[in-house]
Chains A and B, each alone.
Chain A
Amino acid sequence: MPTQTTQSPGPLATSTRPALSGRGLVKRYGAQHALAGVDIDIQPGEAVAIVGPSGSGKTSLLHVLAGILPADSGEVLLAGTRIDHLGKAKRSELRRTEFGFVFQSGMLVAELSAEENAALPLLLGGVSRGQALADARQWLDRLGLAGKGARRPGELSGGEAQRVAIARALAHQPSVIFADEPTGALDTRTGRDTMNALLGAAAENGAAVVIVTHDRDLAESVPRMVTIRDGRIATGVTGS
């Protein structure tokens, strides 16, 4: 059993099982090791920032943890249960129900309104139209988008669009939210606001958050920071 290499376990680590764990994760692209044996535990409700130089394997780790990419070896556990060997359909369902995603930008459905975009995971989960839209509207209100629910993504600013994406990631009450460079296309101020909105909303909901970012300043605002270098977790570098 590999030991946890980060020094500062999450605040709840002692009391509960991790929400999500990676054990000995290896991901290769040809001869290139994008991940060369990564172990990581994410506690329920914990926010983790993953930082590291470009090409170090941050995105790969996120995708492997979320079951978007299969690992070449190693295990992924969701609340103690292995999920890496599940079939495509099952993994897809897990992503739909247990996880939420915030991407860099442009990943909202252009033809749908902000409200409908946010309601999409609920609709896919079988929630009725009225209920799903009402829930989505609530989330948009909480994220400061009251009155903008009918707008299309093209009619929103970059920061607003990202907040819609956050609402979409949270609407179905997932246990883990994955965000890959959620502020990458935003200016510093908006980026900080968006990050705060994401962290705040996730905390309120008790969802764990895994955020990949280039921006060290932004990462500082996240309780726990994990640094990756050459596909490995760099020891001795910790967040606050």
Chain B
Amino acid sequence: MNSFRLALRVLRGDRRTRTSAILTGLGVAVATGLVLLLVSLPFATEARGERSTWQEPSYGSGEDGPATLSLASSEDYTGGDKITRVDVAPLTDPGSIALPPGVGKLPAPGEVLLSPELARLADGMPGSQLGERFGGDVVGTLGEDALKFPGQLVALVGHDADDMPVTAFQQNGFALGGAEQDPLLQLLAGVGVVVLIVPSLVLVASSARLIAARRERRLAALRLAGATPRQVISMVSAETAIAAVGGALLGAAASPLLHKLATFVPWDGGTWQASDFQLPLGVAIPVVLLMPALVLLAAVLGLRRVMWTPLGATGSHERKPLHWWRLLSLPLAGLFFAVVVSTAEDEMGMMLVLLGLALIVASAALVGPWVTSAIGGIFGRIWRRPSVLLAGRRLRDDPKGAYRASAGVVLAVFTGSMALTLMPSFESMAGSSSPFRDSVLYVPTDAARAERIVAETNATLERYGQRERAIGVGEVVLAKGENSGQQALVLDCERAEGLLRLDMAGACAGTPGVYSEYPMELNGVTVSAEWGTQGVPLPADTPVRPFEVTGEDMYSTAIIDPAVLPEGVSPSEVTVAVPTTQANREVVRTALAAAAGGAQIESREMRIWDQQTQLSDLRRVTVIGLVAAAVLSGCSAAIATAGSVMDRRRTFGALIAAGTPVRVLARALRTEAAMPALVATIGAGVVGVLVAIGLYSLVEEESSVVLTPWIAAPVVLGAGVAVLAASVCRPALNRVRAEPLADE
């Protein structure tokens, strides 16, 4: 008889086999859908990048042809949203410059193209808030194809070639295509695949266990009836294949829906276009094929026992105690990890760190069953109540099976506590060493442009009725000898106190001089505009006054009052700085942006805000991943519990028939299911935190890890999931009680 027909007949006739097949199918479907999504993440960022490469200077150019375009890209902010500003000036006939998709025309000097969302925002508020920043007439809008994500705020501003900011880059036309995948997302997707695939596969394995006992008996019967091993394999494969292939197709069919959901999750400034998540068929098809193949392989491997001992399957299995060397694998992996973490420097080192991480995760599969067996041993010795005895013996007898059910939870907890340890620590790292106060807006530029920017900005501020004024802060070098020296900002004492994160400590009461955080000997010190150029000696009698740095992680700089700057030194690098208040920040930004003409406006506030946005992107993705992993692993643990009841249906049925209260059996099963999961969960949490501390030391040498109570969250969540999943045994036992002695 054809094995597919036989399999279909079994599926039609037997309810439990059908349930198991449906669960297997669902597990494969979820796994397939998730993998398709995760694998598509790097491609999605690539798709975004493809649309938005034109917004960046084409750094690769120079080899590709003569420069035809001058382009400067900068970031601006309005009300907490990021604006990407692209300033361009043609260096040749504008008509000959190829335009990026979605860009209707190259704006002439004084013309601006805005993205639809930015145009809407600009129309909705006074020009001094936003609209006048771009210093030109809006002559059109940018299309979807020119935007990184729907709703991106982009301004494309036209200039004359001699009117471009210092940061402008001369290139051959716009940069088109050639985007690369986001390495961070690649890493996250890789971690995510592992963290989500394991519980999915455990789910599949658990649902197979629902019918393991029954199937083994059926197969043993077939073998005894003379079926060849090959026939038996093909029968089981057919049964599993129907479920697995069906599941994979379902997962593939549902994946557009999942992708649709993913488009709502912001990353790197905005959400996604639905088409971003489209996978190349060359990637999608292997993924869809791979999942059922894995499941089939697992099913066939699981058959070995029945294959070689047709009667053994119905008998009892031997119990070999697990060897204690398993216990060594974790410290060994930990040691390896610690060593590579402390020595890692180059790319090779990073590979070793990843290998160490993989080893730690793998060692859990060795240690977990041993610990489970040890718990069983202890229970088996100290029991007082029959439920503890039953649970203990079971754990001792089949520690691998008992542990397997919680493998998904363990992995999720490990990853979760690692992520939650790392994240606040990274957050504490975020910051900026800029000496300017958080509220100061500043534009690094050169002396000539600075003068014009200051003049224009102040004229506009005057027109807007603002009291704040821009000033140019020059940079000079206080050099001593050939190699030693220090940067100094050219500022008078009052202004320094107003703009910078320091306390002049009364120094402003004295005559102008040099101000320094550290004691300074001016003997032999020369002042120059740039490093390595001939300096002019500073009079040795110039007063040196101390100040105190009040801001965190500010880089060290000295200050020199313009009044004592020696004749003939004129700074070439100048930063235009304007103090702002909460109330006039947007307006000052508008005045400065209009004058800066595409030069980057910096502010410590926005720098930090940017870092926080990245971190919250990361946090959001992590939380979504962890919740998905928790749900998946909870489902698989629950099915595993139901499976372990079904496995022993006859024994439990007999016990119930003989009057054993379901309560006692339920307690035994709960203990049996939850105990290893609880211990493993706590263990995984601890190891996760330790590994995170190790990883963190790679990034940051001194600052210590920030430990928050949130680190306990994955352990609590995991334990809750484990206990909840274990409680499934009650309804399963109630089913048995309905017909305690019914044969399977």
Residues of chain A at the chain B interface (Cβ within 8 Å): 63, 66, 68, 88-89, 92-97, 99-101, 103, 106-112, 116, 120-121, 123-124, 129, 152-154, 168-169
Interface contact B657-A101, CB-CB below 8 Å: yes
List the B side residues contacting A99 at CB < 8 Å. Answer: 658-659
Interface contact B390-A96, CB-CB below 8 Å: no
A88-B737, A120-B386 known, 12 other contacts, Cβ within 8 Å:
A68-B657, A89-B661, A94-B659, A97-B659, A99-B658, A101-B657, A110-B397, A110-B648, A111-B390, A111-B396, A123-B386, A154-B316
A223 to B619, CA, bound (A): 78
| Contact pick for A111, options B397, B656, B741, CB 8 Å | B397
Residues of chain B at the chain A interface (Cβ within 8 Å): 315-316, 383-386, 389-390, 393-394, 396-397, 648, 650-651, 654-662, 664, 737, 740-741
Interface contact B659-A112, CB-CB below 8 Å: no
Q: How far is the CB of B431 from chain A (nearest CB, A)?
A: 58
Q: How far is the CB of A154 from chain B (nearest CB, A)?
A: 3
Interface contact B386-A103, CB-CB below 8 Å: no
Q: How far is the CB of A148 from chain B (nearest CB, A)?
A: 16
| Contact pick for A93, options B648, B659, B662, CB 8 Å | B659
Interface contact B657-A109, CB-CB below 8 Å: no
Interface contact B393-A103, CB-CB below 8 Å: no
Q: Which residue of A lies closest to B394 (CB)?
A: A111
A153 to B648, CA, bound (A): 14
Knowing A106-B650, A152-B316, the reply to whether A112 touches B661 (Cβ < 8 A) is no
Interface contact B661-A124, CB-CB below 8 Å: yes
List the A side residues contacting B383 at CB < 8 Å. Answer: 129
Rank and list the top 9 A-B pairs by shortest CB-CB distance, nearest first.
A154-B316, A96-B659, A95-B659, A107-B654, A111-B393, A123-B386, A101-B658, A111-B397, A68-B657
Interface contact A109-B659, CB-CB below 8 Å: no
| Contact pick for A112, options B390, B654, B658, CB 8 Å | B390
List the A side residues contacting B660 at CB < 8 Å. Answer: 92, 96, 120, 124
Q: How far is the CB of A178 from chain B (nearest CB, A)?
A: 9
Q: How far is the CB of B724 from chain A (nearest CB, A)?
A: 25
Question: Could you show 26 A-B contacts with beta carbons less than 8 Å apart?
Answer: A88-B737, A89-B661, A95-B659, A96-B658, A96-B661, A101-B654, A106-B650, A107-B650, A107-B654, A109-B390, A109-B393, A110-B316, A110-B397, A110-B651, A112-B389, A112-B393, A116-B389, A120-B386, A120-B655, A120-B660, A124-B386, A124-B660, A124-B664, A153-B316, A154-B316, A169-B658
A165 to B428, CA, bound (A): 66
> Across the A-B interface, how many residue pairs have beta carbons closer than 8 Å?
77
Q: Which residue of B lies closest to A122 (CB)?
A: B386
Q: How far is the CB of B445 from chain A (nearest CB, A)?
A: 79
Knowing A68-B741, A116-B389, the reply to whether A109 touches B316 (Cβ < 8 A) is no
Q: Which residue of B lies closest to A119 (CB)?
A: B386
List the A side residues contacting B397 at CB < 8 Å. Answer: 110-111
Chain A interface mostly: helix
Interface contact A68-B740, CB-CB below 8 Å: yes
Q: Which residue of A lies closest to B657 (CB)?
A: A68
List the A side residues contacting B315 at CB < 8 Å. Answer: 154
Q: How far is the CB of B725 from chain A (nearest CB, A)?
A: 21
Q: How far is the CB of A159 from chain B (nearest CB, A)?
A: 16
List the A side residues contacting B316 at CB < 8 Å. Answer: 110, 152-154
A112 to B383, CA, bound (A): 13
A116 to B389, CA, bound (A): 9
| Contact pick for A109, options B384, B396, B651, B737, CB 8 Å | B651
Q: How far is the CB of B380 from chain A (nearest CB, A)?
A: 9
A89 to B740, CA, bound (A): 14
List the A side residues contacting B651 at CB < 8 Å. Answer: 106-110
List the B side residues contacting A121 at CB < 8 Å. Answer: 658-659
A89 to B664, CA, bound (A): 12
Q: Which residue of B lies closest to A169 (CB)?
A: B658
A97 to B660, CA, bound (A): 10
Q: Which residue of A lies closest to B652 (CB)?
A: A109
List the A side residues contacting B390 at CB < 8 Å. Answer: 109, 111-112
A96 to B656, CA, bound (A): 9
Q: Which residue of B lies closest to A106 (CB)?
A: B650
Q: How far is the CB of A84 from chain B (nearest CB, A)?
A: 16
Interface contact B741-A63, CB-CB below 8 Å: yes
A154 to B315, CA, bound (A): 7
Q: How far is the CB of A144 from chain B (nearest CB, A)?
A: 22
Interface contact B384-A129, CB-CB below 8 Å: yes
Q: Which residue of A lies closest to B651 (CB)?
A: A109
A109 to B387, CA, bound (A): 13
A95 to B657, CA, bound (A): 8
Q: Which residue of B lies closest to A95 (CB)?
A: B659
A113 to B660, CA, bound (A): 18
A89 to B663, CA, bound (A): 10
A103 to B389, CA, bound (A): 23
Q: How far is the CB of A109 from chain B (nearest CB, A)?
A: 6
Q: Which residue of A lies closest to B392 (CB)?
A: A111
A129 to B379, CA, bound (A): 13
Interface contact B661-A92, CB-CB below 8 Å: yes
Interface contact B661-A95, CB-CB below 8 Å: no
Q: How far is the CB of A190 from chain B (nearest CB, A)?
A: 18
Q: How far is the CB of B448 from chain A (nearest CB, A)?
A: 87
